[in-house]
Structure 1
């Protein structure tokens, strides 16, 4: 039976009937309301990807199989972001005409390569500290300097490889930041250009870092099939020998396995996700601790990171009790983290959002608020860029029977919820 040309509602209805389920049965097994199923089938509502994942799991199909082509919904143009990021867009996406040679951009004076590398490291620290405004301000000049250094090195016939690598790392920083703030068109441009340059240099591990970032971008765009395939095929090509691989090689491979698992679990392919998680755990165990090196892999990686991502799977499956059972358990305990190190702040905060979701799913709205407040105190700017945070807050507001507390009103305002 062909479903490709059907709308989302038609596809769900056809799949449900083929499975012999009523709307009530599908709702019960997917842990959603009957009203949600009815609205979806009547094209009267919009579903979160998590909801579609739960429905797909019951119907025995991939989440991607439910997606339907169509014209995007009208949205208000984001003129503010367009203005704020105009310089960065100009650097990453210059106009291209039909002439074989275009007027070269004014890149300014080439800086010494050690200075550019220092600025990249400063930018990474700003990014990790959630100082996104500062990163946005520095990136246009940093990217111009890196390109100017590449041009100068080619003209002078020296340091060409080092200059090209510096430019790759500047592009990867831009891709990391732009994906985080959901500017996907520019993020794609930065990451793909970085991968291309790294491949030309035959710097495999550096190219893999870009691929890991690109997989993250694809997952955020709900392109699960493509993300899983890209991560899995790349991981297969670089699978290291555990006995002799460096921590950076193990981490790069392990991160790709995590990306493959993340895409597969969202796409209702649990067996694939389990195997990918197992390989990531193997890499993490071989390293033995949380490892961070921007120049060899995308983010901090190690045993705790792998465990947190496994808990994320429980949240995606709608297992709120399972999520709460794993809080501070085993490798996630404070004592264990003192031994093997802490994962990145972003990984921890994503986990805390899953914990907040689990609390509200079980009716503990105050516990959920406590988690959100904790994240806001340490990563308030990061939180504003997380749809998961807004979803949790909307669930709190929807289940609140009494008038809102002051902290609820302030949190809703912080997250831009009317």
Structure 2
């Protein structure tokens, strides 16, 4: 991948007439970083995004297909995920997949347990979620396969869809993307086939998030745009769930477009999301009708994320605790979901590091560790921030810095 990436960067640099020194100046990156890339080194996606802006191309234009690097140190995850793999991806023979074994579960009990597992997910209780999901997936499959009567069949199919969606969201969060894709694709298929349009839309929001996590910006933008246009609600009669899912889809469009150096598309998508959030009036997160979190606060945080992506650290800090994101507004508009808030505070931490304020960056990381430690350890941005602290710190590291580096698995 690295050599093909180097060729792409070199090709576009020469097409603009830039020297390596000029590209470094235009992008704000060091000449050492430019040379590293063109000599075959690998870099973060956000660095490629910065290069793409300077070169006037889409970020995805710099990506290249090549053999992946060897996977090292994944043995533990393979063992941890054995039961989830069995539940989601059974062996397939000549006739059909090997059917899940077991007895149907009482539907009220099954829905209640799925809701409890959903609560554990939002509380960052990832160990508990990992233990409960295999059983829920198997039981929902058996129950749906054996349901009798239209009402029970619909209820069982809904439970099956919800268990798959929950698995897809959890697996995306912990970056097990192949399993997550399988879960979300199956949930969307089942929701479509059973007329659960809003639930299918929720699944597509999750699918766009997964594609975004995999740097598949073009596909994420196209899927979110297509779905948002198909699900556009009538504002005068739309339910809160419809507005929230539609708004989240436009947030996915914006996030994909901004990362792919398509700022005009991002601005229009943010405007559409703002329309949905204004119609809602406050934050909305109501399982099982709407699985994510959306509203004026979330929309403002994602706009701030755009500022972080273009490297405007001063603007990030100006908007971080002001207006809709100020403490008074948060009380009246409602709190965003913990993952969305955590991502916002990581943007703030990154801005502090870029401006040389290590103590403020550490305060953000420590606060997130105290409130959302399990979530924080799965965030590459947290490791990037900590790595930048280690690299730019001129004085001896404090104990707090050493402890955080150990917690995040970052070593200088």
Normalising TM by the smaller chain, what interval?
A: over 0.9
Equivalent residues in 2 for 1:109-258, closer than 5 Å: 109-154=103-148, 159-258=152-251
- Offset at residue 6 of structure 1 (A): 7.7
Q: How many residues align?
A: 411
The root-mean-square deviation of aligned C-alpha atoms, in Å, is: 1.4
Residues 57 and 166 of structure 1: CA distance in aligned 2, closer, same or farther (over 3 Å): same
2:91–2:98 contact (8 Å) kept in structure 1: no
Residues 362 and 95 of structure 1: CA distance in aligned 2, closer, same or farther (over 3 Å): same
- Offset at residue 105 of structure 1 (A): 2.5
Equivalent residues in 2 for 1:6-155, closer than 5 Å: 7-43=4-40, 45-98=41-94, 100-106=95-101, 108-154=102-148
Listed one character per residue, the Cα deviations across residues 158-199 of structure 1 (whole Å, up to 9, x for unaligned) are 511111011101110111100000011111111010101111
Listed one character per residue, the Cα deviations across residues 19-59 of structure 1 (whole Å, up to 9, x for unaligned) are 1222122112212111000110111x211111100100111
Residues 280 and 102 of structure 1: CA distance in aligned 2, closer, same or farther (over 3 Å): closer
3-state secondary structure, aligned to 2:18: coil
- Offset at residue 298 of structure 1 (A): 3.1
- Under a length normalisation based on structure 1, what TM-score does the superposition of the two structures give? 0.96
How far apart, CA to CA, are the structure 2 residues paired with 1:169 and 1:343? 22
Gaps of 5+ in 2: none
Indicate whether 1:305 and 2:305 are aligned.
no
- Under a length normalisation based on structure 2, what TM-score does the superposition of the two structures give? 0.97
3-state secondary structure, aligned to 2:43: coil
3-state secondary structure, aligned to 1:7: helix
3-state secondary structure, aligned to 1:97: coil
2:92–2:98 contact (8 Å) kept in structure 1: no
How far apart, CA to CA, are the structure 1 residues paired with 2:181 and 2:60? 21
2:100–2:141 contact (8 Å) kept in structure 1: no
Indicate whether 1:396 and 2:389 are aligned.
yes
1:205–1:252 contact (8 Å) kept in structure 2: yes
Name the structure 1 match of 2:404.
Answer: 411
1:339 to 328, 332, 336: 332
How far apart, CA to CA, are the structure 1 residues paired with 2:252 and 2:274? 13
Listed one character per residue, the Cα deviations across residues 241-264 of structure 1 (whole Å, up to 9, x for unaligned) are 111111110001000000111111
